[in-house]
Structure 1
Amino acid sequence: MIETLSNTVSVQNQLQEIHASLKLERPEIGRIAVAIYDEQTDILKTFVHSTDGEAPFSHYEARLNQVPSLRDLALSHDVRVIDDLQIDGVSGSLHILRLVQTGYRSSYTIPFYDHGRFFGFMFFDSSVVGYFSEAVVRHLELHAHLISLLIINEVSRVTALRSAIDVARAMSHSRNEETGAHLDRMARYARLIAKALADRDPGDAIDDEFVEYVFLYAPLHDVGKIAIPDQILLKPKKLSDDEFTIMKSHVSAGMGIVESIATGFNVGSGQHVEVLRNIVRYHHEAYDGSGYLEGRAGAGIPLEARIVTVADVFDALTTERCYKPAWTNDRAFDFLRDQAGRRFDPDCVDAMLGNRRRAEHIQTQFRSNNRFHEAYTEEL
């Protein structure tokens, strides 16, 4: 059942369906939320939720080690019931205070794992003090298990699809035009931009699920370059017009790779695959319509592609390549600012400019001494 739904319905919608079913018997449960864990950065981040009324947390992240109560739960494999959030909220916990401010009075928190590896938390919240009795907790065990399977299944499918494309790229050539550090950085820049846009959006047009898919699939934007001959891809000088035409064909090649592998994994209609398709197909489009392959402009370019374009170009500018030294951050930010409304979506540029400190932290965290050896093109 989970696998069938995952191909056609977003995880957010599936969680809402589970919540609606649960509320037929337990109407006092006003919120179910899931946060997933990024072991590489120790970040716990909101992923999906089903909430009656205002959501206390959205587009939120925190280092697990900075939330000792949750860190201890993850390590102990234990669950936590808080009978009166208003009393515990006096302690000053930001998380509990937010729940209280939005009307919740009791909570039930469950860590979940995939083959022993900590994966994230489920949160059940109620407006009733002392709601999560032993009987209620027992009743929720099946729902919690179903939700954990749903989340692990979805994230694992995304990870497997991404890994398969990575393997295809690695097996096709041993060229180092894109180091792992570059892909780590630009994926996190993309997530930074997506999250900033989501924070500015008063509704749920950009949800946490979308932000996570942008982060996961951003590194695959140029997968089609495995089809470009070395003498063009690795050329240290400006490409001729004919060579540039061949270089542009990597977009179509990338789409072919994505469709082939998505079909093989039977995930061709999933929401997350559409995000991947759009990133691969449209990340060389320009906001003013001067890009390729289709010459799309403005909102005609999917948002995920507009985000990735800014993230990728910023990292390319600030990284040494065989035909240029690394630009300073000041120069790169000036370039983004100058090209806003022309090459780049102004909102995406504003999101990047407004998070300079976080972007520079990403640079420090994923520093690389490797040089890029990709050919010079008109794009940079």
Structure 2
Amino acid sequence: MFNYQDTLHKLNDLLPLSEKLNFVHGVLRDRFDYIDRIAVTLYDEKTDTLKTFIQSSDGENPMQQYEAKLSEVPLLQEIINQGRPRVVNNLLSIGGTGKLHTQRLVEKGYASSYTMPMSINGSFFGFIFFNSFMEEVLDEEVLHYLDLIGHLISLTVINDLTNIRTLLAAVKTARDMTHQRDLETGTHLDRMAHYSRLIATEIAKERGLSDEFIENVYLFSPLHDIGKIGIPDKILLKPGKLDEEEFEVMKSHAVKGREIIDTMLQEFGLDGLDHIDILRNIAAYHHEAVNGSGYPEGLKDQEIPLESKIIAVADIFDALTSSRPYKEAWDNEVAFNTLRELAGKQLDASCVEALLSNHEKISEIQDKFGEDRFG
């Protein structure tokens, strides 16, 4: 009676999305062994950016840490406009119209491609790509199965991202109710998230970071100061410098942040979220310093999680270059010099260098997410 095993049983397990994708790919290849790659990209509507997320293949990933403006990729735009997937049984046939991402696939030997758009509540949020090293293999039978697998992958991704967005929305509501918005505007959190992604992408090759890790750092970075919800307004909103006793209370926000996140995860039933320790580490350790002078635990260098080091650089840079009731915004060059002085002492040197080597992208982020008088 119980001799049969559900083919897709592992999707019920608490596994990272990348492992679930690898599992689904294995099931698909049992029937169509020439489907050599599955990849998922996500779309950021605020910046019109497509970015690589997770992929499964036997060989090297041709598109790691890749992003592009959707408006600059007409073939992918057309998929959205048509509301239908795209079948290409010979990638060479579309020549240079696919731009860099198609060129990379062809260079790695991929010959055919099936591209499905993903939507949630009618809104586009990314693509799924199925690729093969063989030409002319995407017939009606294969496409029927790819449709089923594609929608299964889409629902799995939606489920995970929806959980994260639920948590983010709950935190934003709590922050607004406790006046945290007065110190950290929405644009500050947008800039921080994009600075964090920029740093993580820049050091990805050196540190062996996956696109999934980078995306989670980007998504979780706005939660870094959630612990300030538990700080009294007379300290949190004080316009001048805190005295020693007040600063000790302020420092407790790092521990409070970890506690709040653990409570929220439990209350929302989200304990099994992928890479949840990234979120915990961001909240708890973003004020640690590589020389051991930080808080709450006085961790040193390698003891500090990488995601916390990334957030620290992004947070300090945006704090320096933003206006506050008690200070004017610093010029970028002045802030850059300050970061250089802090590198290797308070901040991770490679994370600082990663940010400083991207002046043009920093300016783009600041232009896109600048503050007005309403924050």
Report the TM-score when normalising by structure 2.
Answer: 0.94
Q: Which residue is equivalent to 1:375?
A: none
Q: Which residue type is aligned with residue 214 of structure 1?
A: V
Q: Which residue is equivalent to 2:178?
A: 172
Q: Which residue is equivalent to 1:376?
A: none
Q: Which residue is equivalent to 2:148?
A: 142
151-160 or 234-243, which deviates more: 234-243
107-116 or 265-274, which deviates more: 265-274
Q: Which residue is equivalent to 1:99?
A: 105
Distance 1:120 1:207 in 2: 18
210-219 or 265-274, which deviates more: 265-274
TM-aligned CA distance change 1:68 to 1:328, over 3 Å: same
Deviation sequence 1:113-146 (CA, Å, 0-9, x none): 1111112110000011111111110122211111
Match of 2:313 among 310, 313, 322: 310
Retained in 1: the 8 A contact 2:117–2:128? yes
Q: Which residue is equivalent to 1:159?
A: 165
1:165 Cα deviation after fit: 1.5
Retained in 2: the 8 A contact 1:217–1:276? yes
Distance 2:177 2:22 in 1: 41
1:284 corresponds to 2:287: yes
1:335 corresponds to 2:338: yes
1:234 corresponds to 2:222: no
SS of the residue corresponding to residue 286 of structure 1 reads coil
Unaligned 5+ segments in structure 2 are 1-5
1:50 corresponds to 2:56: yes
Q: Which residue type is aligned with residue 356 of structure 2?
A: L
Q: Which residue type is aligned with residue 370 of structure 2?
A: R
TM-aligned CA distance change 1:5 to 1:341, over 3 Å: farther
Distance 1:174 1:200 in 2: 36
SS of the residue corresponding to residue 93 of structure 1 reads helix
Distance 2:168 2:223 in 1: 8
Aligned CA-pair RMSD = 1.9
1:8 corresponds to 2:8: no
Which has the higher relative contact order, 1 or 2, with Cα contacts under 8 A spaced 6 or more apart? 1
Q: Which residue type is aligned with residue 211 of structure 1?
A: I
1:348-367 matches, within 5 Å, as 348-367=351-370
Retained in 1: the 8 A contact 2:235–2:250? yes
Q: Which residue is equivalent to 2:201?
A: 195
Distance 1:273 1:6 in 2: 17
SS of the residue corresponding to residue 24 of structure 1 reads helix
1:266 Cα deviation after fit: 1.6
Retained in 1: the 8 A contact 2:288–2:299? yes
Q: Which residue is equivalent to 2:210?
A: 207
Distance 1:319 1:127 in 2: 50
Report the TM-score when normalising by structure 1.
Answer: 0.93
Retained in 2: the 8 A contact 1:183–1:219? yes
230-239 or 333-342, which deviates more: 230-239
Distance 2:373 2:245 in 1: 29
Distance 1:84 1:342 in 2: 54
Retained in 2: the 8 A contact 1:7–1:270? no
1:219 Cα deviation after fit: 1.1
285-294 or 87-96, which deviates more: 87-96
Retained in 1: the 8 A contact 2:41–2:50? yes
Retained in 2: the 8 A contact 1:284–1:309? yes
Q: Which residue is equivalent to 1:221?
A: 224
1:69 corresponds to 2:75: yes
Retained in 2: the 8 A contact 1:7–1:267? no
Distance 1:97 1:174 in 2: 47
1:236 Cα deviation after fit: 2.1
1:353 Cα deviation after fit: 0.7
1:313 Cα deviation after fit: 0.3
Q: How many residues align?
A: 369
Match of 1:268 among 271, 275, 283: 271
SS of the residue corresponding to residue 194 of structure 1 reads helix
Deviation sequence 1:193-247 (CA, Å, 0-9, x none): 011111444xxx3111111111111111111111111211122222111111101
Retained in 1: the 8 A contact 2:22–2:56? yes
TM-aligned CA distance change 1:195 to 1:174, over 3 Å: closer
TM-aligned CA distance change 1:249 to 1:60, over 3 Å: same
Deviation sequence 1:260-287 (CA, Å, 0-9, x none): 1101222214333211101000000001
1:179 Cα deviation after fit: 0.9
Percent identical among aligned pairs is 46
TM-aligned CA distance change 1:231 to 1:99, over 3 Å: same
Retained in 2: the 8 A contact 1:179–1:370? no
1:169 Cα deviation after fit: 1.8
